[in-house]
Structure 1
Amino acid sequence: MSIYVGNLSYDVTDADLSGAFAEYGTVKSVKLPTDRETGRPRGFGFVEMSKDAEEEAAIEALDGAEWMGRDLKVNKARPKTNSGGGTGW
């Protein structure tokens, strides 16, 4: 399972996010997507932790919490879907 973290500051780093979630358990990975054209962070990220119980504790504690001047949106990440994006021809 992966955790979606939204409404992040554009100044956040992988290390910042990992540190915030490490309080709740072992962080396996952190991904902060960037805009393809500008290279700027997109304001959200994904965190994967070692155990489901750790992820649940982090979600419970951090959803709605103020961090780096923003109110976080934290929940279970939904599986990526193929939105098409092309012309379908």
Structure 2
Amino acid sequence: MKKAISLLGWIGVIFTIIALVLTLLTTYHFTYVKYFNDYYTLQWSIFGTMMIWAANMMVFRTNFKNIVYPITCVIIACATMFFMYMKVY
């Protein structure tokens, strides 16, 4: 279970990096990729990655002090969802 969550986390990071690069290339008109012409896909990938990493950090947590990092990931994910709800994309 721990290896699966860790693998999903790294897959999310790789997809987020690819989404970031494709969004920047499409935004600055170097190339055109249909789903990356706004920040919507990038926001979804950040949300998913942050939630997976929060779960990953909760599983690998060794003591109660390490609760700050998963909470930070959840706050970033909630902020991303807030901006998506406010249609900032």
Q: 1 or 2, which has the higher strand percentage?
A: 1
Pick the structure with greater CA Rg: 2
Relative contact order, higher structure (CA 8 A, sep 6+): 1
What TM bracket, shorter-length normalisation? under 0.3
When normalised by structure 2's length, the TM-score is 0.27
Q: 1 or 2, which has the higher helix percentage?
A: 2
When normalised by structure 1's length, the TM-score is 0.27
